[in-house]
Amino acid sequence: MDEAPGTLINLNDTALTLAEPADDLRGRKVVDRNGDEVGDVEGLIIDEHERRARFLLVGSGGFLGLGEKKQLVPVDAITGVDEDTVRISTERTHVAGGPVYDPEVVPEPQYYEDLYGYWGYPPFWGPGYVYPPFRR
């Protein structure tokens, strides 16, 4: 696929399952490359056609759900996974500086392209893309 993605959806909003059930990382804590906590995986943004996770929906900050920020982290940033934790390749300040995710707005394809650019990864719809082997 060498054009922008079709439909990316929040797995929480659908009855679909992932192609690989072990890729379901919801509920795990996200830590940066220094071991500092970033937030929690609140959802997965998946490719509806391939049923693969493309982004972690990470919630951070706030108190009792107020003021919490939600951001998308490409699965390509994952460096390790265990029973409770997802480790990512950057520092939490990088996550915090990224675009905020608004579930009320349906993102345009350019949003995802810009998001991949911010993170420094090629988009999954580009030529030669290989799905990352983040399961450990």
Digit-coded pLDDT (tens) for 6-50 = 678 999 999 999 999 989 999 999 999 999 999 999 999 999 889
Q: Is the dihedral of CA 135, 128, 77, 5 positive or negative?
A: negative
Greater model confidence, 100 or 4 = 100
Residue owning tokens 């693969």? 52
How much is the mean pLDDT over the chain? 87
Strands 37-47 and 8-10: antiparallel
**In this structure, is residue 34 part of a structural domain?**
yes
pLDDT at 1: 44
Q: The CATH number of the domain where 96 resides is what?
A: 3.90.50.10
Distance CA 54, CA 72 (A): 9
**In this structure, is residue 76 part of a structural domain?**
yes
pLDDT at 3: 54
Total domains, the chain: 1
Residue owning tokens 């579930």? 103
Which residues are CB-neighbours of 29 under 8 A, at least 6 positions away?
37, 39, 40, 41, 84, 85, 86
Domain encompassing residue 36: 8-119
Distance CA 26, CA 43 (A): 6
Residue 58 pLDDT greater than 90, yes or no:
yes
**In this structure, is residue 3 part of a structural domain?**
no
**In this structure, is residue 17 part of a structural domain?**
yes
Residue 62 pLDDT greater than 70, yes or no:
no
